[in-house]
Amino acid sequence: MISPFVAGLGTTELLIILAVLVLLFGASKLPELARGSGRALRIFKAETKGLMDDDDDDVSPAKKTPEQRQIEAQQVDLDTEVERQRRGDTTT
């Protein structure tokens, strides 16, 4: 049995919405539409979780991959070189 109040909608409203969807998309397209919506929601959820994980700046060095450590070392070297050039120091 369908819950009488889904997001504040009654049974009659849900039936009307379902009928409009069937008329717009056809009965054969509804499963494909539902699958596409489910995929989109999963991708959205994964991306928002990834953004929240990126906000964690307190990652310990033990959790960093070798590639991350190498990139950070290169960035430090570049920053040092830029600072030397800014000061006019040409010795390396």
Distance, CA of 22 to CA of 45 (rounded, Å): 28
Considering Cα of 82, then 84, then 90, then 92, what sign does the dihedral take?
negative
Give the tens place of pLDDT for each residue, 60-91: 656 778 888 888 888 888 888 888 888 886 55
Specify the residue for token string 């397209």: 29
Instruction: Answer for the pair 85, 78: CB distance below 8 angstroms, yes or no.
Output: no
Q: List, in sequence order, every residue forming a beta bridge with 6; answer none if it has no partner.
A: 9
Q: Could you tell me which residue, 33 or 92, shows the higher pLDDT?
A: 33
Give the tens place of pLDDT for each residue, 15-53: 999 899 888 888 888 888 888 889 999 999 988 887 777
pLDDT attached to residue 60: 60
Residue spans of the domains in the chain: they are 1-58, 59-92
10 Å CB burial of residue 21 (0-12, 13-18, 19+) is middle
